[in-house]
Amino acid sequence: MKSSMHAVHGWLLLLPAMVLLAAFTHYPALATLWNSLFSTPRAARPAVFVGLDNYRAMIDDPVFWQAFWNNMAFAAITIPVSVALALAMALWVNGRLAGRGFLRLAYFTPTVLPMVAVANIWLFFYTPQYGLLDQIFGLFGLSGNNWLGMKPTALPALMAVTIWKEAGFFMIFYLAALQQIPPPLLEAARLEGASRWQTFHRVLLPLLMPTTLFVLVNALINAFRMVDHVLVMTRGGPDNASTLLLYYIYEVGFSYWDTAYAATLSVALLAVLALTALVKFRWLDRRTHYQ
């Protein structure tokens, strides 16, 4: 009797979270999948079942593939760089430094700024002739660069903004994890004659793997849901050189009002995220030791 009451009590505690998860995660995902199998309804034409026609159109869409590869390159560069920078900053500010509180605040400040505000700040930095970057490069006779208006530099410019904003956020998690590591473990490594690199590689890094797994999954999600910076800074240009998947979905859904095709693109984005996260979990979870 008591065990059944405990079970009922446990399910009641889980019920609010389950309802919210079903209403705002599972139902929208299933509705998006269902809508991708229909045409877009118009004023005088209701939606009709078209099966996989939207997916065939997506496969033949060159803009989709460009946005896809742009996003893959965006994730492949911003994720490792921001995570490595976050770990380096956490190790730096975790030491006994004068003014380390100020350093922590300085590293974390970009995180609390709104995305649109960050985009506008960097939009000023990238302004040709008058921006901060051109003022600096002008000292070496290299001014006049349209960083956001040239295909080779538009996407890297967005990557720099993302790394600048996210590294401080991930640093907080690494800093919290470093402060939970028992000092006797580090002292034992020093007594055994381990160098700083050996202590980091053999002691700190394995103990930080749960945090690394958490940070990598969050960085992956952030890389594929980036839309604010693209909307404010480049609008996908020039010639779709900086178009990312979520921005393309936004453009199709709200500029062209093709909701069925936008749903198809959303399913493709969800599939990419699920597959990548699954690979990360299967690969990293084997190397992760939880205390």
> Dihedrals φ, ψ of 130, to 5°?
-100, -15
pLDDT at res. 268: 93
> Under a CB-based contact definition with an 8 Å cutoff, are residues 244 and 159 in contact?
no
| Four-point Cα dihedral 153, 156, 158, 162, nearest 10 | -160
Cβ contacts of 247 within 8 Å, gap of 6 or more: 67, 226, 227, 230, 231, 236
C-alpha–C-alpha distance, residues 91 and 265, integer Å: 40
**Chain center to CA of 179:** 25
Cα(172)–Cα(109) distance, integer angstroms: 11
- Chain center to CA of 228: 12
d(CA 182, CA 180): 6
pLDDT at 81: 96
Backbone angles phi, psi at 32, to 5 degrees: -65, -45
Number of H helices, E strands in the chain: 15, 0
Residue 89 near residue 167, CB atoms below 8 Å: yes
What whole-number percentage of the chain has pLDDT above 90?
A: 36
pLDDT at 193: 77
Domain boundaries, the chain: 63-287
Is residue 284 predicted with pLDDT exceeding 80?
A: no
Res. 12 pLDDT band, cuts 50 70 90 = confident
Quote the pLDDT of residue 287. Answer: 62
Q: Considering the domain delimited by 63-287, tell me its CATH architecture.
A: Orthogonal Bundle (1.10)
The model's pTM: 0.87
pLDDT at 290 over 80: no
What would the pLDDT profile of 246-279 be if each residue is shown by its tens digit?
A: 999 999 999 888 999 999 999 999 898 888 877 7
Residue type, 56: R
